[in-house]
Chains A and B, each alone.
Chain A
Amino acid sequence: MGAALAALAAPLFKVLLMYCLHHILRALLLLLGMASAALAGPYEEALPKFANDSYADTDAAIGAVASSGNPLAVDVVEALRDGRLLIGSGQVFIRRSSGELINAATGQAWGSPAGELKPVRINNRLRRAIEAALGNLTLLSPDAGRRLEAARAVFRSRDEAVLPTLEKAIAQESQAHVRNALENARAAILLSQLDALPMQRLGAIETLEARGDQDALALLSNLPPDATPEMKAGAGKAVAGIHTRLALWEAVQNVWYGISLGSVLLLAAIGLAITFGTMGVINMAHGEMVMLGAYTTFVVQEIIRAYAPGLFGASLFIALPLAFLVAGAVGVLIERTVIRFLYGRPLETLLATWGISLILQQGVRTIFGPTNREVGTPAWMSGALEVGAMSLTYNRIAIVVFAFSVFAVLLLVLRYTSLGLYVRAVTQNRRMAGSMGIRTNRIDALAFGLGSGVAGIAGVALSQIDNVSPNLGQGYIIDSFMVVVFGGVGNLWGTLVGAMTLGIANKLLEPYAGAVLGKIVLLIAIILFIQRRPRGLFALKGRAVEA
């Protein structure tokens, strides 16, 4: 019995011993492994690759750092994206936005580095890798905004490896729009994943159909080759549905683009509606007033940048009254020194104002140089608002609102102020107005100044969408005359309707005829229209016509 027991115990003991040994060994190995990880894990091994200044090495390093699980990984990848990852003497540093230097390997502050530091260079391929890596790393970030960004990045990268994290993120997400973005990302991955369940992949098609934008369309129309007939049918239906929806939005979008172009035309033409429309002066220097307004904006911004950078967001509002004053003053000057001697002689006025426009252009060229000047866009005017399947850019929205406000104010000024009353009186019957005691000379100068000032205001707005160069005005002068003549000389409402009609017609034609032909078609249409109705859309009737 004892022998038998011993015989049984021996192998048991052996097994037990082996088991223990194995565990001890494993523990030891693990310890060793941890120790070596602390010394040279994937993170530490990857870091020096950044210093090689080779795109391929940087790419490999991004992947290794992102998957290392090191708490500094997010910082490193973000710093790389923003050009704050620096290399020098074989070491890698992160520069915090506060300017503080950190050793990327240890996470400790680094006082003064020896030698020159230069940022790690990145190109577009690396930017995509960074975006994907950051997406994977920040899916579980406590900040909802970053989670949303991450979800969008994963939607684009469609990295299958991140699926488990994504599932976890969806399960614990509390905000509906972030969850929606996360689910979209999951659908995009599942759609092309070969070993996903058919049910899941059909569900993915439904999710993408609900998303219904061009990205979804791209995914659905490029199904992977292993797609089942059900998937193909589902995707086909979804694609058709999205197409109809997008076509509808595209029509709306074209109308919006038309309104936006129309408001630019309105802004450029509204000053001319006063100088040419009501005063009858063919002012070829009108475009240069717009240019002066734009340059005023530039000067204001330069001063703000130098002395009060905090006010930059308000720079356009500060520039508005100044642009009005500058352009208006130049307008009054031109009227007093040149135009007043030429009333009633349209050809001479045309030539004289054309000469003035050349003088102003060359003057600005001499002072500010022939190259474009940079007018910054305040943060509140950058970016776009997503409405359905179209994006409305904030600067265009601002310009539409602004154009209509200027129009309204000008209408009120002409209607309800004494200056407006005098201007209308002088326009309708100069001699009678003079006999009533109105100083017609002064009114001419003021009205010309008003028209020029409004052109200057337009320049502030146009500096946001066009070049600020001495040629700025040239691009608008023909369009402005077209709008005023088409709308009907002497009528502000005509200018509004004319600008909007031309803008919308142009933008509706452009997708079909192209930008060049579209413009030609429009010009021919206007020529034909003027043949039929020489006085434009809203012709003045009665005595004013003969005056």
Chain B
Amino acid sequence: MSIFTMTRRNLVALTAAALVSGATLQAARAEETIKVGVLHSLSGTMAISETTLKDVMLMLVEEQNKKGGLLGRKLEAVVVDPASNWPLFAEKARELISQHKVSAVFGAWTSVSRKSVLPVFKELNSILFYPVQYEGEESERNVFYTGAAPNQQAIPAVDYLAKEEKVERWVLAGTDYVYPRTTNKILEAYLKSKGVKAEDIMISYTPFGHSDWQTIVADIKKFGSSGKKTAVVSTINGDANVPFYKELANQGVKATDIPVVAFSVGEEELAGIDTKPLVGHLAAWNYFQSVETPENKAFIEKWKTFTKNAKRVSNDPMEAHVIGFNMWVKAVEKAGTTDPDKVIDAIVGIQVPNLTGGVSEMLPNHHITKPVLIGEIKEDGQFDTVWQTDGLVSGDAWSKHLDGSKDLIADWQTLKCGNYNTVTKKCGS
């Protein structure tokens, strides 16, 4: 009995001691490190895509520390798991900013998770780097969009198909949520402005994780056999892609007949499919692992060493994080502080090399310049770049092809406004 109480007392004492020393340790460390928040789902549906980005961030932080850190201090990555749960993203963002006092956060994947954390970043005035291609129609002071806006991915892809493949009939297939809906709205308006008739556009939405594609693939086949060249523009998200491509292959829809160009399928997604029947289907991104530049070669090497996996692939959102992180580092060095207000002002105009041989620049609308690459799927699950833009394309926060947004511009440098209306000359549309 006495032993029991003794142990319990000891335990309490030990815990208290641990807590105190932990707290002092933490306080001491907080002075010497700069903290970087990593807000990516490590469990749940989105873990499949987001876990990789967490690893990239850890690698970038480690690398920067090897170079001597930032402003003479070491960097420290604080990783939290929002578990693919949208409200939890907001809670975890608050935790990162208020509790861990991070200087910037790199994170979010789906548009809904970004929308969920926006108010937190505004309220607590922190910085978010968002690395994924998205639907646009947004520009916030506290957010930097390092992924592609629709004019850096969707529009060039459609142009490519119309010009090179002579496509006249379009299937816009997507998962039923905000990114595909907005992208398809922009694409529909764009195609119609190019003279495509309404009956030559078929729009189809499916629920998240849709796995039975028989009817839709049969519909696409039927739509595509009118004698006019047909292509599918796919904004199908994540997990639903594998059964979609499997069904395409099984029903014998070949890339030479009806090519599918995807905006959400990269090297990582293809790693889970037998790609032989998919050869020739397309994807539009700003980066492919197969791009042959010295920068990319070095990056892939580092990545494989860091993950201790020679088969690990790299993809577009990873490159976006590399660019975003390097831009932030340069901006902090320029500002001489990690204070968000100063960094937000300093980062516009910062240029860093991307991995495809160009130099990306942070624009006043908080989007960046990127090249657009169209790749065809190869047998080994990699992409073969078949076309790319001559130079870099500047990201548009507001689409020129939608009625509500064509007069809007974002400029956080001179106008200090994310939705300035050029017709009424007023901020706030």
Q: Which residues of A contact B (CB under 8 A)?
A: 55, 83, 121, 123-125, 127-128, 131, 156, 214-215, 217-219, 221-222, 253-254, 257, 260-261, 264, 361-362, 365, 369-374, 376-377, 382-384, 390-391, 393-396, 465-471, 474-475, 507, 510-511, 514-516, 519
- Known contacts A253-B218, A393-B251; is-contact A127 B280 (Cβ 8 Å): yes
Known contacts A217-B225, A371-B272; A395/B212 CB under 8 A: no
CB proximity of A421 to chain B, nearest CB, Å = 37
If A218-B225, A394-B250, A467-B243 touch, does A361 touch B211 (CB 8 Å cutoff)? no
- B85 CB, min distance to chain A CBs, angstroms: 12
Instruction: Check if A124 sits within 8 Å of B43, measured CB to CB.
Output: no
Is the CB of B63 closer than 8 A to any CB of chain A? no
* Alpha-carbon separation in the docked complex, A257 to B218 (Å): 10
Q: Pick the contact of B210 from A394, A395, A468, A515 — CB < 8 Å?
A: A515
Task: Answer whether residue B232 sits at the interface, using C-beta atoms and an 8 A cutoff.
Answer: no
Contact B176 A261 (CB under 8 A): no
Please measure, in the bound complex, the distance between the C-alpha atom of A417 and the C-alpha atom of B284, giving whole angstroms: 58
B252 and A384 form a contact (CB under 8 A): yes
Find chain B residues with CB under 8 A from A374 CB.
271-274
Do B205 and A514 touch across chains, with their CB atoms under 8 A apart? Answer: yes
Contact between A515 and B206, CB atoms less than 8 A apart: yes
**A218 and B247 alpha carbons, distance in the complex (Å):** 23
In the assembled complex, the Cα of A373 lies from the Cα of B239 at a distance in Å of 12
Q: Is the CB of A515 within 8 A of B280?
A: no
The list of the 4 closest CB pairs from A to B, nearest first, reads: A372-B272, A214-B225, A218-B227, A393-B250
Residues of A within 8 A of B272 (CB): 371-374, 467-469
The interface bits of chain B over 108-138 (1 if a CB of A lies within 8 angstroms of the residue's CB, else 0) are 0000000000000000000000000000000
- Label chain A's interface by main secondary structure: helix
- B43, B204, B247, B271: the one contacting A362 at CB < 8 Å is B43
| In the bound complex, CA of A372 to CA of B272 (Å) | 5
- Choose from A125, A391, A471 the contact partner of B164 (Cβ within 8 Å): A125
Interface residues of B (CB under 8 A from A): 42-45, 47-48, 51-52, 164-165, 176, 204-207, 209-212, 214-216, 218-219, 221-222, 225-227, 239, 242-243, 246-247, 249-252, 255-257, 259, 268-269, 271-274, 277, 280, 376, 379, 384, 386
In whole Å, how far is B408's beta carbon from the nearest beta carbon of chain A?
A: 30
Contact A221 B273 (CB under 8 A): no
Q: A124-B256, A382-B277, A469-B239 are in contact. List 8 more A-B contacts (CB 8 A).
A: A83-B379, A257-B214, A371-B52, A372-B269, A374-B271, A383-B250, A466-B211, A516-B207
Q: Most chain-B CB neighbours within 10 Å: which of A217, A372, A511?
A: A372
B211 and A465 contacting across the interface, CB-CB below 8 Å: yes
CB A502 to nearest CB in B, in angstroms, measures 12
> In chain A, what residue has the closest Cβ to B313?
A371
In the bound complex, do residue B271 and residue A124 qualify as a contact, i.e. CB atoms below 8 Å apart?
no
The tally of CB-CB contacts under 8 A between chains A and B is 141
Chain B residue numbers with a CB within 8 Å of A469 are: 48, 239, 272
- Report which of A127, A361, A396, A516 forms a contact with B214, defined as CB distance below 8 A: A396
Q: How far is the CA of A128 from the CA of B257 in the complex (A)?
A: 8
Check if B48 sits within 8 Å of A515, measured CB to CB: no
For B246, what are the chain A residues with a Cβ–Cβ distance below 8 Å? 377, 395, 465
Q: Of all chain A residues, which has the CB nearest B45?
A: A471
Q: Are A372 and B242 in touch, CB under 8 angstroms?
A: yes
Provide the residues of chain A in CB contact with B250, threshold 8 Å.
Answer: 382-384, 393-396
Q: Is the CB of B268 within 8 A of A371?
A: yes
| CB <8 Å contact, B43 and A376 | no
Contact yes or no, B215 A221, CB < 8 A: no
**Cβ 8 A contact of B251, one of A260, A384, A510:** A384
Distance A123 CA – B384 CA, assembled complex (angstroms): 9
Give chain B nearest CB distance to A306 CB in angstroms: 14
Using Cβ atoms and an 8 Å threshold, which residues of chain B touch A371? 48, 51-52, 268, 271-272
Q: How far is B229's CA from A218's CA once the two chains are assembled, in angstroms?
A: 11
Q: Which A residues touch B205, using CB under 8 A?
A: 514-516
**Which residues of chain B have C-beta atoms less than 8 A from A222's C-beta?**
226-227
Question: In whole angstroms, what is the CA distance A487 to B227 when docked?
Answer: 45
Q: What B residues does A125 contact at CB under 8 A?
A: 164-165
Residue A124 contacts which of B176, B252, B259 (CB distance < 8 angstroms)?
A: B259
B45 to chain A: closest CB distance in Å? 5
Residue contact A123 to B386, C-beta cutoff 8 Å: yes
Chain A residue nearest in CB terms to B242: A467
Min Cβ gap B180→A in Å is 12
The smallest C-beta distance from B239 to any residue of chain A, in angstroms, reads: 5
Report the minimum CB–CB distance from A152 to chain B (whole Å): 11
Given contact pairs A253-B218, A370-B48, A515-B216, A124 touches B165 in the complex (Cβ within 8 A): yes
Chain A: which residue is nearest B282 at the CB level? A124
Q: In the complex, A465 Cα to B239 Cα: how many Å?
A: 12
For residue A253, which residues in chain B have a CB less than 8 angstroms away from its CB? 218
| Cβ contact within 8 Å between B242 and A124 | no
Chain A residues with Cβ below 8 Å from B165 are 124-125
Measured CB to CB, the nearest residue on chain A to B309 is: A369
List the B side residues contacting A124 at CB < 8 Å.
165, 255-256, 259, 280, 376
A370 neighbours in B (Cβ, 8 Å):
42, 47-48, 51
Q: Which of B176, B222, B280 contacts A516 (CB 8 A)?
A: B176
Per the bound structure, the CA–CA distance linking A396 and B242 in Å amounts to: 16
Residues of A within 8 A of B215 (CB): 254, 257, 507, 510-511, 515
Closest-CB distance, A65 to chain B (whole angstroms): 19
Determine the chain A residues whose CB is within 8 A of the CB of B257 once the complex forms. Answer: 156
Residues on B with C-beta less than 8 A from A394 are 250
Bound complex: CA A514 to CA B219 (Å): 11
Q: Which residues of B contact A369 (CB under 8 A)?
A: 51
- Contacts of A474 on B, CB cut-off 8 Å? 45, 209
A134 to chain B, nearest CB (A): 12
Of the listed residues A131, A361, A374, the one surrounded by the most CB atoms of chain B closer than 10 A to its CB is A374
Residues of B within 8 A of A470 (CB): 47
> What is the CA–CA distance of A55 and B250 in the complex, to the nearest angstrom?
29
Q: Within 8 Å CB of B247, what residues of A?
A: 393, 465
CA distance A506 to B243 in the complex (A): 18
**CB-based contact A391/B239 at 8 Å:** no
**For the complex, what is the distance from the CA of A261 to the CA of B271, rounded to whole Å?**
26
- Choose from B42, B227, B251 the contact partner of A221 (Cβ within 8 Å): B227
Report which of B218, B249, B255, B273 forms a contact with A372, defined as CB distance below 8 A.
B273
Contacts of B227 in A (CB 8 A): 218-219, 221-222
Residues of chain B lying within 8 A (CB to CB) of residue A519:
207
B251 / chain A contacts, CB cutoff of 8 Å: 384, 391, 393
Q: Which residues of B contact A391 (CB under 8 A)?
A: 251-252
A254 CA / B247 CA spacing, docked (Å):
15
Across the interface, which residues of A come within 8 angstroms of B379, CB to CB? Answer: 83
12 contacts between A and B (CB under 8 A): A124-B280, A215-B225, A217-B225, A260-B214, A365-B43, A369-B51, A377-B246, A383-B252, A390-B218, A396-B250, A511-B215, A516-B206
C-alpha gap A156/B209 in the complex (Å): 35
CA distance A393 to B277 in the complex (A): 14
Residue numbers in A under 8 Å from B221 (CB-CB): 214
Nearest CB in chain B: distance from A190 CB, A = 16
A253 to B221, CA, bound (A): 13
Chain A residues within an 8 Å CB radius of B243: 465-467
A371→B252 CA distance, assembly (Å): 26
Closest A residue to B273 using CB positions: A374
Closest to A128 in B: B256
Tell me which residues across on chain B come within 8 A of A55, comparing CB atoms: 386
CB-defined contacts of B52 to chain A, threshold 8 Å: 371
Instruction: Decide if B204 touches A515 in the complex (CB within 8 Å).
Output: yes
Cα(A510)–Cα(B216), bound, Å:
9
Contact A131 B256 (CB under 8 A): yes
B45, B206, B214: the one contacting A261 at CB < 8 Å is B214
Bound CA span A467–B48, Å:
11
Q: How far is the CA of A219 from the CA of B227 in the complex (A)?
A: 6
Contacting residues, chain A, for B164 (C-beta < 8 A): 125
Cα distance, A429 to B412, chains bound together (Å): 73
* Min distance, Cβ A489 to any Cβ of chain B, angstroms: 25
Bound Cα distance A474, B45 (Å): 9
Inter-chain contacts of A217 with B (CB < 8 A): 225
